[in-house]
Amino acid sequence: NTLYERLGGEAAINLAVDKFYQKVLADERINHFFANLDMKQQIKHQKAFMTYAFGGGNNWNGRSMRQAHQKLVEEKGLTDIHFDAVAEDLVATLVELKIPQELIDEVVQIVGSVSHRNDVLNR
């Protein structure tokens, strides 16, 4: 079965989305990127992020990761430091949810892959 299922399916996603975003919005290293963002965009970001994180990246039909973050890179200086902070908040969320370490490792491999990072950071 898929990583999504092994992580606990929809119930786990919903919990993770809430916890993760609370962390991101409380994280002074990165919360300025989300200031003045409309709520619809934020919800889109949360869900899409978790879909990626949980290994279901194929059904995303919004902008590409590259396009979605282009302005943040060009105008707001989005870089590795911020990417790492987001990844750290994600791992902390999964630890709090008592997701087994080997599943967290799988999540990190997907979200933190060099190709994914390079897309988000427009390299």
Q: Are 19 and 96 in contact (CB under 8 A)?
A: yes
Determine the interface stretch with ligand HEM among 3-11, 15-23, 57-65, 100-108 (rule: CB under 6 A).
Answer: 57-65
Place of tokens 């890179």: 73
**Residue 30 CB, nearest distance to ligand HEM (Å)?**
4
Q: Is 86 in the site for ligand HEM (CB under 6 A)?
A: yes
9: left (phi over 0), alpha (psi -120 to 50) or beta: left
Residue 78 touching ligand HEM (CB under 6 A)? yes
Binding of ligand HEM by 94 (CB under 6 A): no
Cβ(62)–Cβ(68) under 8 Å?
yes
- The reply to whether 69 sits near ligand HEM by the rule CB under 6 A is yes
Query: Does 26 engage in binding with ligand HEM (CB under 6 A)?
Result: no
Residues 29-48, mask of contacts with ligand HEM (x by CB under 6 A): -x--xx--x---x--xx--x
Q: Hunting for tokens 């119930």 — which residue is that?
A: 11
Decide: is 14 part of the binding site for ligand HEM (CB under 6 A). Answer: no
Exposure on the CB side of residue 120, measured as CA atoms within 13 A: 19
Separation of alpha carbons 101 and 2, rounded Å: 16
Amino acid (one-letter) located at 45: H
Binding site for ligand HEM (CB under 6 A): 30, 33-34, 37, 41, 44-45, 48-49, 52, 62-63, 65, 68-69, 71-72, 78, 82-83, 86, 111, 116, 120
